[in-house]
Amino acid sequence: MKMDQMQRSKPRSRKVAPAPHPPATENHSGGDELVRLLLNSTGEGIYGVDLEGNCTFANPACAKLLGFTSVDEFLGRQMHKLVHHTRTNGVHYPVEECRIYQAFREHKGAHVDDEVMFRADGTPFPTEYWSYPVERDGELVGCVVTFVDISERRHAEEELRQTEKMAALGKLSAGLAHELNNPAAAGARAAGQLMEELDRLQFAVIALARAGIAPDLWNSLISWASEFQQRAAHPLDLAPLERSDREEDVARWLEARGVADGGSMPSTLVAAGVEAKELDAIAAAMPENQLAEVITWLYRTIAARDLADVALRSTRSISELVNVVKSYSYMDQAPLQSVDIHRGIGDTITILGHKLRRGIEVVRHYDRHLPHVQARGSELNQVWTNIIDNAIDAMDGRGTLTVRARREDPWVVVEIEDDGHGIPDDIQTQIFDPFFTTKGPGEGTGLGLNISRNLVVQKHHGQITVRSKPGATCFTVRLPIDVEPMQME
């Protein structure tokens, strides 16, 4: 091709790069005209650089995308310094590391979709570019770069990612509601029953006082009540048959002495570790005409304490779940934290507990001396959530989830493995692609693993890989120990 038929810099002694992919007829004027028309009509920006990185030609779309009024404004200028000098995180981008010049360093093309270029007014825009080496007569003379502004694509992808995040938040909210509902319902039920039991206990105290218990016996009553309450706080782990036998013994004892058991008295007393022989000891110490009131009072005391304990444990469970949510989301904390990997995974497992308890066993192999990493804790938890949630689906709700965490300098390594049906070999290379999913319509956006990869690789300078076969799918996440994440929103 004759370069004098294209816009170019002042003549130089060095050789200049030809247009990309010139047609076979480039030695004919018709071929040159065709190339010129193609360059001028395409919407992609195209420019060539010589071995010093100086622009040797460009098409009108290149000038427009870069915010120049004409190609003449940047012909002959060093393109890296002009439009590609800074990384996406605002850090200086050395020309020696620029992937565009991989064409020079390795004599092969490069394709990049995660960097930015800068317009003439200094504003950045996300770009996808291709760089190809150009040789003439067997000699490397430069490279040709084709690029596009992917701002709209990034905007659309971000909207879909937000949709994915909202969908994930909906799942987590549903799970959290399920987790909170059980202790809340148990606490409310226990509180209502406690109010009724306190009324019964009050009547039992009045009946005990009316029975005329001697003053010297009150200390014994209080001692028995305290002993039985302590036992009730730590109920015996009895086999069903043994428990049934004990309850029958106590029921017969109560019936023989005319104590109205109210149906639940034998089970409550046995749960507190009370046996018939201990009731014999109480009967021996008490006047026979006061025994029914004494036993009833002891039973009501234990029952009230049990209900109060249920209400206390329920509220503690709710409080613990709220703390887990705060920990999971890193609420009220700085964007960057010193993150305990074990705790983050544990919080995630707790949040997803309603799905795991249906039939999935969680096995943990942790290095208890694992160092903390500098990270965005909530974003890492999003990674664990995406991987574990996919594992649950892959196991159809039943199987074993194995989590391993260890140190392999300079990394902290986390492996999450399931024994589900596995990922077919022919799609394993696609699972991190945006919008790729094997789930049915409406069941997934195909962005979960793509987001996870971006968070691990781009935000935290880490690595994420997968190996899979039927019965063993393992996602491995490597996070650098001493490197801070990118300062990106």
Q: How many CA atoms, within 13 angstroms, populate the side-chain half-sphere of residue 145? A: 32
Please name each of the domains of the chain with its CATH number.
Answer: 3-149 (3.30.450.20), 168-321 (no CATH), 333-480 (3.30.565.10)
Asked, as a colleague might, if the bond just before 410 is cis with ω within 30 of 0, I would say: yes
Q: How many CB atoms lie within 10 A of CB 339?
A: 22
Read out DSSP for 358-406?
A: TTEEEEEEE-TTPPPEEE-HHHHHHHHHHHHHHHHHHTTT-EEEEEEEE
Among the residue ranges 5-9, 135-139, 332-336, 444-448, the one predicted with the least confidence is 5-9
How would residue 341 be classed by pLDDT, with cut points 50, 70 and 90?
very high
d(CA 266, CA 474): 52
d(CA 286, CA 107): 101
Q: Is the pLDDT of residue 4 over 80?
A: no
Q: Are 74 and 44 in contact (CB under 8 A)?
A: no
**Mean pLDDT score, 308-318:** 85
Q: Which residue has the tokens 């995040």?
A: 165
Q: Are 302 and 268 in contact (CB under 8 A)?
A: yes
d(CA 209, CA 206): 5
pLDDT given for residue 28 in this prediction: 46
pLDDT given for residue 281 in this prediction: 87
Find the DSSP H helices in 211-340. Answer: 215-233, 240-256, 265-271, 276-285, 291-329
Burial zone of 258 (CB within 10 Å; 0-12 exposed, 13-18 middle, 19+ buried): exposed
Closest CA to 18 of 35, 34, 41, 37: 35
Q: Is the pLDDT of residue 52 over 60?
A: yes
Among the residue ranges 6-10, 118-122, 325-329, the one predicted with the least confidence is 6-10
CA 12 to chain centre: 56
Lookup: tokens for 429: 């290379």
pTM of the model: 0.52
Residue type, 489: E
Q: Is the pLDDT of residue 12 over 60?
A: no
Q: What is the chain's Cα-based Rg? A: 37
Among the residue ranges 263-267, 472-476, 485-489, the one predicted with the least confidence is 485-489
Question: Are β-strands 360-366 and 110-118 bridged in parallel, bridged antiparallel, or unpaired?
Answer: unpaired
Q: Is the pLDDT of residue 446 over 80?
A: no
d(CA 29, CA 31): 5
d(CA 184, CA 174): 15
Helix axes of 276-285 and 291-329: crossing angle, nearest 10 degrees: 130
**Mean pLDDT score, 278-299:** 88
pLDDT given for residue 29 in this prediction: 52
Lookup: tokens for 349: 């497992």
pLDDT given for residue 66 in this prediction: 96
